[in-house]
Structure formats: C-alpha cells, structure tokens
Amino acid sequence: MVKLAEISKREAMTNFIVPIDFSVDSLKGIEWALLFSQKKKINIQMVYVLTNSSNFQSSVVELEHKYAEAHFKKLVKKFSPSLGNQSKLGFVIKKGKVYRELVNQVNSFENAVISASTHGASGFEELFIGSNALKIMAATEQPVFTLRTSIPDQVKKIVVPIKLHLDTRQKAPFAADVAELFGAELHVISISIRNNKRDLARLDSYSKQVINYFKKRKLQTVDKTLVGESLPGLTCNYAEAVDADLITIMSSEIDKWNVFLGSYAQQMVKTTTVPLLSITPREKQIPAGFSILGG
C-alpha cells in the first residue's frame, strides 16, 4: 500500500497546463491557475495547437504560428502581474491533433494538472464538450480541472461526493490538498439512488473513512446523506445550495476506448456550473487508513 506522503509528493499540483484558443472563455483556465499561484509557487504553461498544421502549406502554418506567438506574448504581459509566490507563466505552440497534443503535454510533467474551460472556439470547443473531454481524462493519469462559468475569488467550500463505487475514496487526498491550500471547508456528501439499509450502511462506512481522514489532517468538514433519482443532480443541487467553489469526482466510469455516454463523470463535466476536479483512479494508491476493498 502506497503511503499518503508518497502520493502527495508525487501528485502535488505544481504545473498547470492550460489549453488556449484565444477566446475569452478559454482564459478561465489561466484565471483558475492564478488562484493557486497566490497560495504556492507553480508553473503555468499555456498550450495552443496549430489548427492548420496538417491541411495547409507551410506559409499558412507559419502565419498562424506568428499569430499565436504574438497573442501569447500579450497574455503573458496581461496576467504576469497577477502571479504570486514567484510563479511563472509561459506558453508552447504545438502541431498535430489538439486532443493528442494536449494529453502529451500534460503527461510530460510528473506533477501536472489540466486547467481548462469547457467552452471555447475552434477545436477546443469540441475538445472539452462531451466525450472528448472524457477521453482526455481517460488518457492521462493527471488531475483535470474543468471550468464552465465565472471563476471564484477563493476556494472556500469543496464538495466531495461519496458513491457506492470501488474508487470513490481515492479523491480524498486531492480534495484535502486543495482544502489545506485555501483553508477550505470540505462537504462530504453520501449520494445514492437506492434507499435500502445495506447500501446506505456501506455508503456510510465509506463516508466515515473519508471524514476521519480529513479530521486527521485537521480539516473542517460537513457531512450529509442524500438519496434521489440522479447522482449528478444530487451533487449539483447540493453544490449550488451551499455555494461551493469546487467539486471533486473520480473519472472511474471513463474507458480509454469506449466512453460511456451516461456516466456520472460525463454528466458532471457537461452540466455542473461549479469548477470540477476529476481524478483518475489508481487502485494501488489508496491513502493509509483506507481499505483497498470496496468504494
């Protein structure tokens, strides 16, 4: 069993990869990363993939490259004054398939996260809406932040949904790390579409393990059990009711070769208005004090 200290050391969020298409919406990824720069030193790398690199002659590609470089320099000048803790803001321009190049870029860093708006122009709109967003989550083991609406000024409340699923507790270290960084309150919500005693008892045991883990890290927690017809609906409604600033989920139902259209993860990516942190499950990396069996 991997120790929590080893997980935290290996998965610290120190490199933020931000896909940019120069639309206003795509800049949300930078704004979100800047929040983290106020709390610790990070490296923010904006990424643009040339849209014409495969279909046009070299002169057209060169023109687009110059366009992207000029706009990136403007963004660096605009956002650099907002960086904290000696954080850095840079950019890279790539050629190829947008989805593939973004995954390659985030995978090139050991301690990276993707910070991306779910709306944008050109290829990025397709990239972060629907199944393509889930394919990226499936293709990388790094955490992915997806952002739909305005960025909060601070992260004060984090919703941690607990489901009857094998990996549901693996999100706890990531949620705890963000909570420690911002001094946020953690809302552990046990959610179920079944109301029988056996399922609720199992769900309660998972929830208590997560709460105890948070308390050992001296984090403020709130817990609640919710039963309803829709797990995404329960999660989103609760997050909006408490004015949450972040929801953490596992991307466990995402398959690299076959994205499940009705999955909880996909519905959350497409519907929540609250910033979302999606974690890829790793069976062997369960924090100390957690049972590897069950969700």
Q: What is the DSSP string of 261-295?
A: TT-HHHHHHHH--S-EEEE---TT-PPTT--SS--
Which of 89, 121, 147 finishes a domain? 147
Residue 69 confidence (pLDDT) above 80 = yes
Residues 189 and 115 reside in one and the same domain: no
Q: Is the pLDDT of residue 33 over 80?
A: yes
Same domain, 128 and 167: no
Same domain for 183 and 127: no
Per-residue model confidence (pLDDT) at position 52: 62
Instruction: Give domain status of residue 127, yes or no.
Output: yes
pLDDT at residue 239 above 80? yes
- Point out the least confidently predicted range of 89-98, 126-135, 230-239: 126-135
CA dihedral (264, 266, 269, 271) in degrees, to 10, reads -70
pLDDT at position 120, please?
55
The answer to whether residue 200 is domain-embedded is yes
Same domain, 171 and 243: yes
pLDDT single digits (tens) 135-169: 677 778 889 999 888 899 999 999 999 998 878 99
Q: Say if residue 63 is in the same domain as residue 167.
A: no
Q: How many domains does the chain have?
A: 2
Residues 111 and 86 in one domain: yes
- Domain range for 58 is 4-147
- Both 129 and 233 in one domain: the answer is no
Residue 284 within any structural domain of the chain: no
Residues 76 and 167 reside in one and the same domain: no
Residues 142, 165, single domain; the answer is: no
Q: Residue 10's pLDDT is what?
A: 45
Provide, rounded to the nearest whole percent, the portion of the chain with pLDDT above 70: 80
Strand pairing class (144-147; 112-117): parallel
- Tell me, yes or no, whether 71 lies in a domain: yes
Mean pLDDT of 121-143: 63
Indicate whether 119 and 139 sit together in one domain.
yes
Mean pLDDT, residues 231-238:
96
Reported confidence tier of residue 203, pLDDT bands at 50, 70, 90: very high
Q: In which band, very low, low, confident or very high, does the pLDDT at 133 lie, cut at 50, 70 and 90?
A: low
pLDDT for the residue 124: 54
Q: Over 70: is that where the pLDDT of 23 sits?
A: yes
**Is residue 134 predicted with pLDDT exceeding 70?**
no
Residues 30, 141, single domain; the answer is yes
**Model confidence pTM above 0.85:** yes
In a domain, 185, yes or no: yes
Domain ends where: 119, 147, 175? 147
pLDDT digits (tens, 9 = 90+) for 271-291: 899 999 998 887 534 444 443
The answer to whether the CB of 174 falls within 8 A of the CB of 286 is no
| CATH number of the domain to which 19 belongs | 3.40.50.620
Residue 281 placed within a domain = no
Query: How large is the average pLDDT for residues 67-92?
Result: 97
CA atoms 103, 145, 254, 131: torsion sign:
negative
Q: Which residues of 22-42 are buried (b: 16+ CB within 10 A; e: fewer)?
A: beebbbbbbbbbbbbbebeeb
- Residue at 235 is within a domain: yes
Q: Are residues 172 and 213 in the same domain?
A: yes
pLDDT at residue 290, as a whole number: 41
Domain boundary among 147, 166, 201: 147
Position 292 in a domain: no
